[in-house]
A and B are shown apart, each in its own frame.
Chain A
């Protein structure tokens, strides 16, 4: 059961300064809005809290840079953070508050695909640009709305699945992969994607097994896949359940290559899964480690300066949240500047108008088009593994 009750307390504390500020502002004659407000709806508490922290860091660092150069439209950029507690209903309430009361020009989303999917119709209805920086669910951007206000700088499940199958075939010569997937909508979405990607290569699969977040022992599921002749495992699950798969494999003594979605990146995978954690090759959009680009060095330095608690590369895992958010914030500022306005419809056109942006993950050329709201494509993904608490890129 996701935590609920005690969360009200810190939320109240966090809201207190806002409430005080609101009272003070109400007393003074209201000044014209002198900042460009942008929102974030992400998990700031609960098991995914670390993801929210990473996003805030990426966004804040970019905002400092933008404001250092005079902001956008001559105004400073201000970030308003709301906690969705990984709960879709709370996410929608937070989005409504940001859009209708705070009148944000655009807002960002968090790690959880179900939360983002719940927010999408609201963003489209109110014509407020909603920028995904983590959740990879395909329908978030491909939502079928006639006027789509949802953009994303992150991985997309369907493309990830194609990349996972490609990697399994190229690296391990997979002929009959077995699928081991978490039993939730994310696992479901990837089940479809992986099946389609396998079908496109006319590859058969050994089997599809599901397991629960709280399963202690995945040996029965894995034994089925082993008996069916799986030669590579395709894994889709968050960090703790992914670790249970690795531990169960160890116990069975089955050494099989594991190609994984980015779940393991979400926490202390090596501590949870033990030495075999390094055998799991998983997808990322970005890694600071082994990254020679001067931009990566500069951003890492900036992060260490702004957040003294960051000392080693292990403290910025997973880097995807930071990097996606950093680039997304810069792209959003460019779109607003291009639009010359904070009005949703114009900002949306502004996104299409971005020609080139030299970002952290890559140099974006025409990142958004009316037919493509995803700035990253399969060729931007990299494969990585855990060495201790650090995520390192694989060279081939």
Chain B
């Protein structure tokens, strides 16, 4: 039971982590987040399904097209629902992005349809045996992909010119502009990466789950909790928090029973934040003058 709970937990945890990384990316660049992340995840799965199953495209092409369109969706969200408000110093982008997600969910409901659909995958048809627990290969791919992306993001932000340029934007947009950084473009790019990460999570989870218009809602909420828990400023912290959250969920369900899952998992989040207000690996915001 332990093995299967751990594998379940790591798989789910890295999904939360991937979506939460999307919150992290926009936050570190612009101090804003896209609350339609759950919907972006759903869009990734729905577009992937439409291209790969309905239209019968080869899977890599379908996946790349779906991810690009989701990145575009991220850019649209930033331009229409975040920038106009952020420019005026208003926090209304918060509600606007929530609303954008609801609009998208419902547009998909009417175009894609109301019924949940199955997204078959060769990686999720025959379980393999891992330490006595049956596991789909896809369940092993998800954590590997999640951790690799978290490490990659951390490296990009800490080691590369591009990463430093992006981070400079949030420190002091005016100074960044004077240094020749295209601030507006940087922010748009962060939203595109963010939505694409959620879409990737959607594509990866779809074969284990079903594709439908409100599949992202709960993931979006949990991922935000994970982002805060990890300390939204640290990519590895966010991924670690995702894995921890997934593990807690699976272990509580396996050993205490499903009645306690949400109670314990969210209580742990509250407790963790009470003792570590900046999250597991976040740091307090420093205003450099």
- Give which listed residue, A50, A243, A247, contacts B114 with CB less than 8 A: A50
Asked if A221 lies at the interface with its beta carbon under 8 angstroms from chain B, I say yes
- Give which listed residue, B4, B118, B135, B212, contacts A220 with CB less than 8 A: B4
| Known contacts A220-B253, A224-B254, A240-B212; A252 and B4 CB within 8 A of each other | yes
| Known contacts A223-B5, A251-B135; A214 and B258 CB within 8 A of each other | no
Bound-state CA distance A224–B212 (Å) is 29
Binds A, one of B25-33, B68-76, B99-107, B266-274: B99-107
Q: Would B110 and A244 count as touching, CB distance under 8 A?
A: no
Q: Which residue of B lies closest to A7 (CB)?
A: B106
| Known contacts A220-B253, A272-B116; A253 and B11 CB within 8 A of each other | no
Bound-state CA distance A105–B1 (Å) is 57
- Chain B residues with CB under 8 Å of A45's CB are 109, 114
- Give which listed residue, B15, B109, B218, B219, contacts A3 with CB less than 8 A: B109
| Known contacts A219-B5, A253-B134; A3 and B127 CB within 8 A of each other | no
- Give which listed residue, B110, B219, B251, contacts A6 with CB less than 8 A: B110
Q: Would B12 and A217 count as touching, CB distance under 8 A?
A: yes
Q: Which residue of A lies closest to B120 (CB)?
A: A274
- Chain B residues with CB under 8 Å of A247's CB are 208
Bound-state CA distance A3–B42 (Å) is 14
- Chain B residues with CB under 8 Å of A252's CB are 4, 127, 133-134
Per the 8 Å Cβ criterion, residues 89-111 of B in contact with A are 99, 102-103, 105-107, 109-110
Q: Which residue of A lies closest to B113 (CB)?
A: A49
Q: Name the distance in Å between A309's Cβ and chain B's nearest Cβ.
A: 14
Bound-state CA distance A224–B107 (Å) is 40
Q: Would A223 and B1 count as touching, CB distance under 8 A?
A: yes
Bound-state CA distance A274–B122 (Å) is 12
Q: Name the distance in Å between B49's Cβ and chain A's nearest Cβ.
A: 11
- Chain A residues with CB under 8 Å of B257's CB are 209, 224
Q: Which residue of A lies closest to B127 (CB)?
A: A251
Bound-state CA distance A1–B5 (Å) is 27
- Chain A residues with CB under 8 Å of B112's CB are none
Asked if B213 lies at the interface with its beta carbon under 8 angstroms from chain A, I say yes
Q: Which residue of A lies closest to B133 (CB)?
A: A252
Asked if A2 lies at the interface with its beta carbon under 8 angstroms from chain B, I say yes
Per the 8 Å Cβ criterion, residues 133-170 of A in contact with B are none
Q: Would A220 and B5 count as touching, CB distance under 8 A?
A: yes
- Give which listed residue, B134, B254, B259, contacts A251 with CB less than 8 A: B134
Asked if A68 lies at the interface with its beta carbon under 8 angstroms from chain B, I say no
Instruction: Encode contact with B along A193-226: 1 for CB under 8 Å, 0 otherwise.
Output: 0000000000000000111101011011101100
Q: Which residue of B lies closest to A216 (CB)?
A: B209
| Known contacts A220-B8, A227-B1; A240 and B116 CB within 8 A of each other | yes
- Chain B residues with CB under 8 Å of A48's CB are 114
What is the size category of the interface that chain B forms with chain A?
35 or more
Bound-state CA distance A157–B214 (Å) is 28
- Chain A residues with CB under 8 Å of B215's CB are 214
Asked if A239 lies at the interface with its beta carbon under 8 angstroms from chain B, I say yes
Q: Name the distance in Å between A380's Cβ and chain B's nearest Cβ.
A: 28
Q: Would B258 and A240 count as touching, CB distance under 8 A?
A: no
Q: Would B109 and A216 count as touching, CB distance under 8 A?
A: no
Asked if B243 lies at the interface with its beta carbon under 8 angstroms from chain A, I say no
Q: Name the distance in Å between B5's Cβ and chain A's nearest Cβ.
A: 5
- Chain A residues with CB under 8 Å of B5's CB are 219-220, 223
Instruction: Encode contact with A along B173-204: 1 for CB under 8 Å, 0 otherwise.
Output: 00000000000000000000000000000000
Q: Which of B115, B208, B218 has the most CB of A within 10 A?
A: B115
Bound-state CA distance A252–B8 (Å) is 11
Q: Name the distance in Å between B215's Cβ and chain A's nearest Cβ.
A: 7
Bound-state CA distance A271–B116 (Å) is 10
Q: Name the distance in Å between B165's Cβ and chain A's nearest Cβ.
A: 37
Asked if A183 lies at the interface with its beta carbon under 8 angstroms from chain B, I say yes
Q: Would B117 and A268 count as touching, CB distance under 8 A?
A: yes
Q: Which residue of B lies closest to A4 (CB)?
A: B102
Bound-state CA distance A250–B139 (Å) is 14
- Chain A residues with CB under 8 Å of B105's CB are 1, 3
Asked if B205 lies at the interface with its beta carbon under 8 angstroms from chain A, I say yes
| Known contacts A3-B106, A268-B117, A268-B118; A221 and B258 CB within 8 A of each other | yes
Asked if B217 lies at the interface with its beta carbon under 8 angstroms from chain A, I say yes
- Chain B residues with CB under 8 Å of A211's CB are 258
| Known contacts A50-B114, A272-B118; A2 and B4 CB within 8 A of each other | no
- Give which listed residue, A3, A221, A251, A253, contacts B214 with CB less than 8 A: A3
Per the 8 Å Cβ criterion, residues 267-289 of A in contact with B are 267-268, 271-274
Asked if A5 lies at the interface with its beta carbon under 8 angstroms from chain B, I say yes
Q: Would B258 and A183 count as touching, CB distance under 8 A?
A: yes
- Chain B residues with CB under 8 Å of A6's CB are 103, 106-107, 109-110
Bound-state CA distance A183–B11 (Å) is 22
Bound-state CA distance A10–B106 (Å) is 11
Asked if A388 lies at the interface with its beta carbon under 8 angstroms from chain B, I say no
Bound-state CA distance A49–B112 (Å) is 13
Asked if A312 lies at the interface with its beta carbon under 8 angstroms from chain B, I say no
Instruction: Encode contact with A along B213-239: 1 for CB under 8 Å, 0 otherwise.
Output: 111011100000000000000000000
- Chain B residues with CB under 8 Å of A209's CB are 257-258
Q: Name the distance in Å between A230's Cβ and chain B's nearest Cβ.
A: 14
| Known contacts A1-B217, A6-B103; A220 and B250 CB within 8 A of each other | yes
Given contact pairs A211-B258, A243-B210, A250-B127, a sample of 19 additional A-B residue pairs in the complex whose CB atoms are under 8 Å apart: A5-B103, A6-B106, A6-B109, A6-B110, A46-B114, A47-B214, A210-B258, A214-B215, A216-B15, A216-B205, A217-B11, A220-B1, A220-B250, A221-B253, A223-B1, A240-B116, A240-B212, A252-B127, A267-B115
| 24 A-B pairs (CB sep. < 8 Å) | A3-B105, A3-B106, A4-B106, A6-B107, A7-B106, A46-B109, A210-B258, A212-B218, A216-B15, A216-B208, A217-B8, A217-B250, A219-B8, A220-B5, A227-B1, A239-B116, A240-B116, A247-B208, A251-B134, A252-B133, A253-B134, A268-B116, A271-B117, A272-B116
- Kindly list the 9 A-B residue pairs having the minimum CB-CB distance in the complex, ordered from nearest: A6-B106, A220-B253, A220-B254, A271-B118, A240-B116, A272-B118, A49-B114, A217-B8, A214-B218
Which positions in B face A, CB cutoff 8 Å? 1, 4-5, 8, 11-12, 15, 99, 102-103, 105-107, 109-110, 114-118, 120, 125, 127, 133-136, 205, 208-210, 212-215, 217-219, 250-251, 253-254, 257-259
